[in-house]
């Protein structure tokens, strides 16, 4: 062991209480190695063939469509313009498996209960675009971060909320076809990624987290519709946080049954709950994850609500073909979701796409729109735009979305052949010259 843990019970002894010696020593050995890096490609913005040709040394992640592992020494994806333009989301490869295993029914109404910073939400949104999501986090700063990631990735089917469902779950009884509960946990799968997680681990923390997890599972059960699925996950290796809460939930509710998930030789299955998946870092290239899926008995209900129309003569709704979506006005701002998603009982930070406020189009709308709705820029114009500068642009007077090599970037306002820059100040960067051109896309 690298150090003693903050408990009378050593971490190795803790794992040996329920795992074979070979698995425990494998976990501990892997935690001394380098962190594994991954990204989930936004295929609505980037062609996968073009991406893999541009970055040939990335490796596909099994069972995760368009998920890739990469070497951070070779590819600095977190500093690349493609990151800021929403071409991909950087995420632990093990965590990516959660969204890919959800497999909700077409058009499902989904709740991601503890969603920040947003990887599982964004993965779910990309993999199941016909669904709508309410993505929640209890912490306001983390919910704001979640909202920013949703905006950057151009997702249009996600409501972001900041709620304590201890106070709100009764208003959402049976409201969701699927629920993701990536529960707060002791974080033992994060030791390699975060030294503070290792220093903070203790058996007492495991026990405190297990109490919270059981409470959250109880809330999730009550909010699950008949026929609905609940996917529970943690980044902990402790049986008290993984297997035990699910066994207790199944004992309390005889209308729940375990679901089979895709299998792989790199997954570990414990005999006490063989349907669940453990991703151990010595078996599966990632930091680690536990996941299990259960289903409530019954026939799925039909959630049918009439979409609310857009305000009459709104210039952006008609110009960009947004008719038919659901619209909600918050103050002087107009928001939109694919279909009406009840949120009257929740504190909402973002209702889908923010379209405009006080007559000015919002950055989120530019990121949501496809490249066909944009004016393409060349490399010189793009460097100027991403740096926050004005530049010459031969276009009609007014607002326009601008793009580079198939990726929408944001708004400009053109007057007399000059484009005034509306790229958000907090995102402006002076990228290195060698990053341009950063991707050659194919027609899609």
**Structural domains in the chain, sorted by start:** 11-296 (3.40.50.150), 315-365 (no CATH), 369-435 (2.30.130.60)
- Measured distance CA(219)–CA(223) in Å, rounded: 6
Strand 67-70, strand 59-60: pairing: antiparallel
Q: What percentage of the chain exceeds 70 in pLDDT?
A: 95
Paired tokens of 232: 């529970």
- Measured distance CA(120)–CA(123) in Å, rounded: 5
Close Cβ partners of 390 (under 8 Å, ≥ 6 residues apart): 384, 418, 419, 420, 421
Q: Following DSSP, what letter does each residue of 106-130 receive, concatenated?
A: TT-EEEETT-TT-HHHHHHHHH-TT
* Active-site choice (209, 235, 259, 340): 235
Paired tokens of 245: 């809460």
Close Cβ partners of 56 (under 8 Å, ≥ 6 residues apart): none
Dihedrals phi, psi of 390, to nearest 5 degrees? -85, 160
Query: What are the pLDDT digits (tens) for 16-62?
Result: 999 999 999 999 999 999 999 999 999 999 999 999 999 999 999 99
Q: Tell me what pLDDT residue 430 has.
A: 85
Query: What are the pLDDT digits (tens) for 288-302?
Result: 999 999 999 999 988
Which of 64-68, 131-135, 363-367, 437-441 shows the lowest mean pLDDT across its residues? 437-441
> Which spans in 40-118 are helix H?
48-54, 81-84, 93-102
- Measured distance CA(242)–CA(277) in Å, rounded: 10
**Is 209 designated active site?**
no
Identify the CA nearest to 284 among candidates 241, 246, 235: 235
Confidence of residue 435 (pLDDT cuts 50, 70, 90): low
3-state SS, 348-371, equals EEEEEEEEEECCEECHHHHHHCCH
Q: Tell me what pLDDT residue 301 has.
A: 87
- Over 60: is that where the pLDDT of 283 sits? yes
Query: What are the pLDDT digits (tens) for 392-433?
Result: 999 999 999 999 988 999 999 999 999 999 999 999 988 776
Question: Quick one: CA dihedral 39, 42, 47, 49, positive or negative?
Answer: positive
CB of 154 closer than 8 Å to CB of 45:
yes
Q: Tell me what pLDDT residue 304 has.
A: 81
Q: What is the pTM of this model?
A: 0.94
């Amino acid at each position: 062991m690298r150090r003693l843990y903050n408990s009378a019970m050593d971490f190795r002894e803790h794992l040996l209480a329920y795992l074979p010696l070979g698995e425990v020593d494998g976990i501990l050995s892997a935690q001394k190695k380098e962190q594994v890096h991954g990204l989930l490609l936004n295929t609505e913005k980037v062609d996968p063939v073009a991406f893999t040709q541009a970055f040939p040394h990335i490796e596909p992640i099994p069972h995760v469509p368009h998920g890739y592992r990469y070497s951070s020494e070779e590819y600095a994806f977190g500093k690349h313009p493609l990151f800021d333009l929403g071409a991909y989301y950087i995420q632990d490869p093990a965590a990516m498996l959660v969204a890919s295993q959800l497999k909700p029914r077409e058009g499902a109404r989904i709740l991601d209960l503890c969603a920040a910073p947003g990887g599982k939400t964004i993965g779910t949104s990309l993999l199941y675009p016909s669904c709508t999501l309410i993505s929640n986090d209890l912490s306001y700063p983390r919910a704001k971060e979640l909202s920013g990631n949703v905006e950057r990735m151009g997702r249009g089917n996600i409501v972001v909320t900041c709620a304590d469902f201890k106070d709100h779950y009764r208003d959402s009884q049976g409201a969701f076809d699927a629920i993701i509960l990536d529960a707060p946990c002791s974080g033992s799968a994060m030791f390699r990624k975060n030294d503070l997680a290792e220093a903070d681990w203790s058996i007492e923390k495991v026990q405190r987290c297990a109490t919270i997890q059981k409470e959250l599972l109880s809330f999730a059960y009550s909010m699950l519709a008949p026929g609905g699925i609940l996917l529970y996950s943690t980044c902990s290796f402790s049986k008290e946080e993984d297997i035990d809460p699910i066994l207790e939930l199944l004992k309390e509710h005889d209308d729940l049954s375990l679901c089979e998930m895709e299998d792989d030789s790199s997954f570990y299955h414990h005999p006490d709950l063989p349907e669940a998946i453990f991703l151990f870092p010595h078996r599966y290239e990632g930091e680690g994850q536990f996941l299990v899926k259960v289903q409530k008995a019954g026939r799925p209900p039909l959630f049918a609500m009439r979409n609310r129309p857009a305000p009459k003569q709104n210039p952006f709704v008609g110009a960009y073909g947004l008719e038919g979506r659901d619209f909600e006005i918050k103050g002087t701002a107009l928001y939109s979701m694919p279909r009406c998603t009840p949120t009257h009982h929740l504190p909402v930070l973002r209702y889908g796409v923010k379209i405009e406020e006080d007559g000015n189009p919002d950055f989120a709308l530019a990121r949501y729109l496809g490249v066909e709705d944009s004016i393409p820029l060349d490399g010189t114009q793009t460097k100027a735009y991403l740096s926050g500068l004005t530049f010459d642009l031969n276009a009609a007077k007014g607002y326009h979305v601008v793009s580079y090599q198939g990726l929408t970037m944001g708004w400009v306002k053109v007057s007399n052949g000059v484009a005034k820059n509306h790229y958000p100040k907090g995102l402006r960067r002076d990228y290195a010259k060698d990053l341009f051109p950063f991707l050659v896309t194919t027609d899609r």
